[in-house]
Amino acid sequence: MGLFDIFNSEKKTKNNKSQSDSKIDLINNKRIAIFGFGNQAEAHALNLQDSGVSNIVIALREDSKNISKAESKGFKVMKLSKAAEWADILMLLISDEAQPEVYKAHIEQYVKEGTCIGLANTINLKKQLIIFRSDLDVFSVSTKFNGNTLRSKFKKEGAVESTWIVHQNNSGQVDDIAKGYLVSVASGSPKVSDNTEESTSENSNKSKKQKEAISKDENPATGTVGTGFFVNNEGYVITNYHVVKTSENNTKIMFKNKEKEAKMIAFDEILDIALLKVEVKNKNYIKFSNNSPKKAQSILVAGYPYGKYISDDLKITSGIINSLKGIKNNTSMLQIDATVNPGNSGGPIVDKDSGSLVGVATMKLSKDYTKAAFGVESENTNYGIKSSQVKDFLEANNVSVSIKKDKLNITELEDSTVFVFS
């Protein structure tokens, strides 16, 4: 999981093919650029090569003393900017001190949208010395042994304890890429068996714990699930864009216990909002407020955590607004402490007294990230998109909104909130 759990884990594969095999296949089909060729980078490159990954280049400066060394090991060497432009996966294994300058001068303006960048140390992320473009995927890996020792352990087919963290996950594939990369670099076995991630090797316990930590945030059902809500009585529904972006126009909602097709009318990828149109006549819908949100304001969150696997009843949690800013002082978002889980994405956050819209549930701070960065797991640090942003989005798409003037009606909230799936 990354800095944000943006509920991309609400996706679940529909077949039961070996997950390890699929992750290795995913890496094998990517172009991988290793930046640097010191002991750590060399070990990673050689282990990847021995695991059957063939499309690897080493990215070095034109005057690097390691060019001949890399070429003698059978690797193609590219200039830094050319490698950044070429790669699908870019592994930044140069010194921490050099990373900010290399990223700014040789990567940021050349790397293509959707490229996945890997790190072996997150110190520059923590100090914000590198701020990766928002359209890139980012993960970090950590192995118990590095450099020559990692290589030696690998050659002896002794798996090395390893972990990963996802920091940016735009594609929804970063978790699998990070796992596949570590299997290739640290498993010690070129042929990956079905139970690689749960092997009896040195990384068994920690890999299992990591898998469990992720599994508890995954949707047990197949497909993609989320929550949405009507914003008028004409069948218009708001949800998160990340809930519906991969559904290929196969999105549906449950309305009065019946499946109804939902067509995506508009979306804002930056805000993570999507507008759906459903051919139904709905009586109830969520109304807006003329008042701005306030700190310590009491709120309710409605949604379908984990889809309908636990039960088909709408779940409602309560809390307060903790902050009027999101991560990195994002003023389009607010922070709440009401409990949310995968499946809550796109659900309404409403004022506890009036029932008017305060925001749209969208993400949570990852426990894995805070554990790695601060030594403790985050507790109920969740985020929503402010209702003012939703209102502007709707009006820009010619959908008018209504202002709520009466008190909260739970039945109205329940009838206005829908289960979204594909």
pLDDT exceeds cutoff 90 at 124: no
17 has pLDDT over 60: no
CATH of domain 225-421: 2.40.10.120
State whether the Cα torsion 81-86-88-92 is positive or negative: negative
Query: Mean pLDDT: which of 239-248, 301-310, 384-393 is highest?
Result: 384-393
The pLDDT of residue 112 is 94
Confidence of residue 28 (pLDDT cuts 50, 70, 90): confident
Asked if residue 22 has pLDDT above 60, the reply is no
pLDDT-above-90 percentage for the chain: 57
Neighbours of 379 (CB within 10 A): 10
198: pLDDT strictly greater than 50: no
Q: What is the overall mean pLDDT for the chain?
A: 83
**Residue 35 reports pLDDT greater than 60:** yes
pLDDT per position as a tens digit, 304-351: 998 877 788 999 999 999 999 998 899 999 999 999 988 999 999 999
Which residues touch 71 (CB under 8 Å, ≥6 apart)?
77
For residue 369, the model assigns a pLDDT of 67
**What is the Cα–Cα distance from 337 to 316, expressed in whole angstroms?**
13
- Rounded CA separation 335/119 (Å): 28
On the question of pLDDT at 29 being above 90, the answer is no
Sheet holding 56-59, edge to edge: 76-78, 56-59, 32-35, 89-92, 116-119, 137-143, 162-168
What pLDDT shows up at residue 212? 30
d(CA 50, CA 185): 9
Range list of H helices, 164-294: 174-186, 204-215, 241-244
Per-residue model confidence as pLDDT tens digits over 257-270: 899 999 999 999 88
Angle at the Cα of 369 (from 365 to 374), degrees rounded to 5? 105
Segment 118-139 shows an average pLDDT of: 90
Q: What is the pLDDT of residue 293?
A: 96
Q: At residue 4, does pLDDT exceed 90?
A: no
- For residues 107 and 80, the answer to whether their CB atoms sit within 8 Å is yes
Average the pLDDT over each of 196-205, 229-238, 405-414 and give the range with the smallest value: 196-205
Share of the chain above pLDDT 70, in %: 84
Task: Calculate mean pLDDT across residues 105-134.
Answer: 91
Report domain extents, the chain.
4-215, 225-421
Is the pLDDT assigned to residue 221 strictly greater than 90? no
pLDDT tens-digit series, residues 156-197: 776 777 888 899 998 888 888 988 898 888 874 322 222 223
Distances (CA, A) of 56 to 6, 49, 128, 309: 31, 8, 29, 42
Q: Please, which residues have CB within 8 angstroms of residue 169's CB and are 6 or more apart in sequence?
A: 2, 4, 6, 8, 137, 175
Structure tokens at 246: 């991969």
pLDDT given for residue 346 in this prediction = 96
**What tens digit of pLDDT does each residue of 396-414 get?**
999 999 998 889 999 999 9
Q: Domain 4-215's class?
A: alpha beta
Structure tokens at 335: 């922070």
pLDDT, tens digit, for every residue of 71-82? Answer: 999 999 999 999
